[in-house]
Structures are given as structure tokens and as C-alpha cells.
Chains A and B, each alone.
Chain A
Amino acid sequence: MARRKNALVIGIANESSISAAIAKELYENGYNIIPTYLNERALAHVKKVTDQLGVETLFPFQAGDEKQLQDITDYLNENDIKIDVFVHGIAFASEIKKNLHEVSWTSFKEAVKVSAFSMVEITRKLIEEDVLNPDSSILTISYRGSQVAVEGYNMMGPVKNILEALVRGLASELGGKGIRVNAVSPGPVMTRAASGINGFSSLIEAVKKTSPIGRTDRMEDIGRMSYEMIHNPSINGTVYLVDCGESVVFSVK
């Protein structure tokens, strides 16, 4: 298959990452995948995913590292590659185990920069370097903890809410260039990032009980709806829940 469209995917940690499911869907739909990895320790896990997606070149990237971002855009420019899709799937919160009222500003600021503002920084750089195609699509990954208080999700609630506000802001600003910005909001799935959250396995159990269809998300369903959001030209500025109906039910059990 001739791969004429390019997707920059930032956020694959390992095979259980949501970004990996999205990258897989993009690959199956003919995209050339350009992934990043956090650091040398993560590389082997990321490669396990990307080796199956025909990827030869991976880039180290830690949010906020301007040099690393420059290397990515230099590579794109040198090879005359324009990005059609940017998937933003990174999040980090050093004090995730603390109660919200105990979190330090240092940790909160870092969490906002890595998990939310990085989407703006990377997008800006792609535009400045002229490597983002008109009519391209940006997708980030959120969680409903942005809207309701979820036990154990602590500081990531407000951080994800900032991310969702940035989705709307970027969508309104970049619409004139034909660029669309959206977020997919899956229910809890066991990823590397989620393993840092206190009581995550009991959250999964609670969701299974609450969901009318009695289970949690299938990864491929998250990937498929993400793909629909990415390629549908009329979807813009949205946050779509993919959560097996869990959020619409007020459980009294």
C-alpha cells in the first residue's frame, strides 16, 4: 500500500497504550506512522508496537524539550514530509497519589505542561516549521475525570479539563486553516499511565458494574472511534466519550 499520509503519534509507551491502538488503526487505514518514545528505557517497549506498523524511524521526545522537537521537524523538512494527523497522547503527574489539596504548584505546573500545554507547543512548532498540512487533524486523549471527581484521579482531573479547554481553543483558532482538533475520552483501561493511579483496578471493577453493557472498553473500539474523529471533516472541537455507557448511569447499587 502506498502510504501518502503521515501521522505523528506522541504517546506510545507500550502495547497497552491508547495511542498504540490509534496508531494501529491509522496504519491499517494507510497512514505512515511517525512515533516518538520517552527515553531509552521505553524504547524497546515502544518498538514492540511500532515494528508491526512498518516504522523504521522513531524519535526520542520528552514534552518541553525544544531540541528534540526541532530534530523531529528537521527530519520532516529534510524528507519533505507533511503531517496530516497529530495524535497527542501524553500525560504525567508526579503527585498523582496525593489528594488534590496537597499537591504542590511545582508538580501541578509540570503536569499541565506535559499533559496539556504540550499539545499547543507541538502544534505551534509544526505550524511554524510549515510541516502541518492544511486540513490536518489533531486528536488528544482525555478522561471524564475532567468533568466529575473520580476517586484517585486527583490532580489529573483539572489537568484534563485544561486539555479539553485547549481543544476548544485550538479548534476555534485553527479552523481558519482547515485544521480540526478533537479529543477522545475513553473509560478507564489498564495502561502504563493508569497503573500509577491509586485504586485503579477497583475503578475498573466499579465501571464494569455501572456500565449497562457490563464491561469496560475494548481497545479496538477506542481506536476505531478515534479514527472516525480524525478523518471526518465535520467533527471539530468535540470530546467524545467511549465508555460503554458508564457515565450516563447513576449507580445506586
Chain B
Amino acid sequence: MSKNALIIGIRNEKSLSYEIAKELIKKNYSVYATYQDESTLKSVKEAADELGIKAIYQYDARKDSDLESFTDALKKSGVKLDVLVHGIAYSSTPGAKLNQLLMNISGDEFTDAIRIGAFSLLEVIGKLYENINENASILALTSRWSRVAVPGFNVIGAAKASLESIVRGLAEDLGRLKQIKVNALSSGPVSTTALSSLGNSLSILEAVRTRSPLKRNVSKEDVASLAMALIENNSISGTIYQIDTGLEIMGV
């Protein structure tokens, strides 16, 4: 019997979630995905068709109605999930206000960032709990920006910090309830739409390349390979694995 995976976070073929979906499909998973709204439907649909994704559902993580309708549709189709990948963040959301000082961020912008980047994981699991199999694997995509300040991007850091804490909390809850493993992967910067929303993605990638001991950036294929290894391992839970060609270990 084929296994099922839901991936939240494919924006286009440059997304990390896209690469992970590709890997899952290679391993015979039936993959379901979401798109945020009409503005991203075309690029997600193209990516989904190319990969052979079974169905895509509209889900803007800021909207209660979307959460309701997308999880209902998935439940009605009778799909039981073995894998859930969470790869959405405020930075990949069209219209997100980035590159501003933390002190100038409004309450609404902040709560949007937290809901999309972190709390949505809890909401989706809450709605789909009965449709998640025992021993399932949940994987969230995070970044080192949860622990270091990046000018103009600190609202994402706050959401990622929250996400990582939620990963540990869920690992405890869902492990006891259903033997479900929950982990996160913390990737060094890769060229995605979310990264380019910063406006200076090329100089970020260049800075990382220069500083990393291996003098290169992380490849998306390698991130997807580690994602699969985490998803299919039965002795790993609650972890945040860094994959960054060694950038994090470098001091000044």
C-alpha cells in the first residue's frame, strides 16, 4: 500500500518543499500539496503537474475558512497521512512586509508572521489529527535565523524560534499519543522565492559561500536527501538538524 504525504509550502519549482516532494514521489509516496491563493495557483499547479502530485488545495494560513475547507476536503477524500511537511513562512507570502525594523512592525504583521510560520503547523495537525497514522513523521523547515539576528528579517526569526519550540512540544505530545515523530531541518540559505524576497539574496548566498568551511552553498538535493532520512528514521524525534555546509560552526 502506498504511503501518503501532505506538503505545505510548495510555491514553485525553486521551493525546498518542491525538492522534498520530488524525493517522496521517487520513494512511491502519494503526495498532496497546498497553494496559498489565486496569485500562486499557476506556479504551484505547474510544479504539481510536473511532479505528479495527487491534488492541491487552497490554503492561506491566515484564513480560518481556508484551514476548514482544505482539511475537510482532505478528510473527505479519506487520505491517511504518513508524512506531513511544513515549509511555509511569512517570507514566502505574497505581499509580506519585510525589510523593516523590528520596532516598526505592526501587531497584525507580527501575528501573521507567527501564524503562517509557526502556529499553522498546530492548526493543520489539530484539524487532521484523526487522519494522521501512527508512526507518522512530521517535518518542519526552519533556519538558523531563529537564533541569530538578520537585519530586516527578524520577524521571520521570531516565527522560526516559535516553530522550533512547537516542534519539541509536538514531539512530546504526538509521540506519546501516536508514536509520531516530529523534527525540523535547519537549512543554510538556498535560492528560493522566499530568500529573494529579502532583495539581496545573491549577496547572502555569496557571503555564506565565502564563510563556509567547504566554500559552497547547501544544495537543495542534499536538503531533500536529509529530509527523507529524517522522515524514514524511527529513532529520531524533537531534533533540529542543521544542514549548512558548516557555516554555523564558524566564529568571527
Q: Are B236 and A175 in contact (CB under 8 A)?
A: no
Q: Are B229 and A228 in contact (CB under 8 A)?
A: yes
Q: Are B171 and A224 in contact (CB under 8 A)?
A: no
Q: Are B246 and A241 in contact (CB under 8 A)?
A: no
Pick 28 A–B contacts, CB within 8 A, sort by A.
A172-B246, A175-B213, A175-B214, A175-B245, A175-B246, A178-B214, A187-B235, A211-B175, A212-B173, A212-B174, A212-B175, A212-B176, A213-B237, A217-B235, A221-B236, A222-B235, A232-B229, A233-B219, A234-B188, A234-B243, A236-B246, A237-B213, A238-B242, A240-B239, A243-B235, A244-B235, A245-B171, A248-B168
- Measured CB to CB, the nearest residue on chain B to A217 is B235
A247 within 8 A of partner (CB): yes
Q: Are A237 and B235 in contact (CB under 8 A)?
A: no
In whole Å, how far is B132's beta carbon from the nearest beta carbon of chain A?
15
| Stretch among B15-23, B69-77, B84-92, B220-228 lining the A interface | B220-228
Q: Are B171 and A168 in contact (CB under 8 A)?
A: no
- Measured CB to CB, the nearest residue on chain B to A251 is B172
Q: Are B172 and A225 in contact (CB under 8 A)?
A: no
Interface residue from B168, B222, B233, B236 paired with A234 (Cβ < 8 Å): B222
B99 within 8 A of partner (CB): no
Query: Which residues of A have CB within 8 Å of B229?
Result: 224-225, 228, 232
How many angstroms from the CA of A170 to the CA of B244 in the assembled complex?
16
Q: Could you tell me which residues of chain A, from 13 to 40, have a CB within 8 Å of some CB in chain B?
A: none
Query: Which residues of A have CB within 8 Å of B214?
Result: 175, 178, 180, 233, 236
In whole Å, how far is A215's beta carbon from the nearest beta carbon of chain B?
8
Q: Are B233 and A224 in contact (CB under 8 A)?
A: yes
Closest 6 CB pairs of A and B: A212-B175, A175-B213, A245-B237, A248-B238, A236-B246, A221-B235
- Measured CB to CB, the nearest residue on chain A to B170 is A212
A85 within 8 A of partner (CB): no
Interface residue from B235, B241, B246 paired with A171 (Cβ < 8 Å): B246
When A211-B175, A212-B175, A232-B222 are in contact, do A221 and B233 touch as well, CB less than 8 Å? yes
Q: Are B225 and A248 in contact (CB under 8 A)?
A: no
Q: Could you tell me which residues of chain B, from 187 to 237, have a CB within 8 Å of some CB in chain A?
A: 188, 212-215, 218-219, 222-223, 225-226, 229-230, 232-237
B179 within 8 A of partner (CB): yes
Q: Could you tell me which residues of chain A, from 173 to 212, have a CB within 8 Å of some CB in chain B?
A: 173-176, 178, 180, 186-187, 211-212
Q: For chain B, which range describes its interface: under 10, 10 to 19, 20 to 34, or 35 or more residues?
A: 35 or more
How many angstroms from the CA of A180 to the CA of B236 in the assembled complex?
22
- Measured CB to CB, the nearest residue on chain B to A168 is B249
When A211-B175, A234-B243 are in contact, do A171 and B213 touch as well, CB less than 8 Å? yes
Q: Are B249 and A237 in contact (CB under 8 A)?
A: yes
How many angstroms from the CA of A249 to the CA of B188 in the assembled complex?
26
Query: Which residues of A have CB within 8 Å of B236?
Result: 221, 225, 241-245
Query: Which residues of B have CB within 8 Å of A228?
Result: 225-226, 229
In whole Å, how far is B32's beta carbon from the nearest beta carbon of chain A?
25
In whole Å, how far is B161's beta carbon from the nearest beta carbon of chain A?
15
Pick the most buried of B173, B176, B237, B250: most chain A CB atoms within 10 A of its CB: B237
Annotate B176-191 by CB proximity to A: 1 below 8 A, 0 otherwise. Answer: 1001010000001000
B68 within 8 A of partner (CB): no
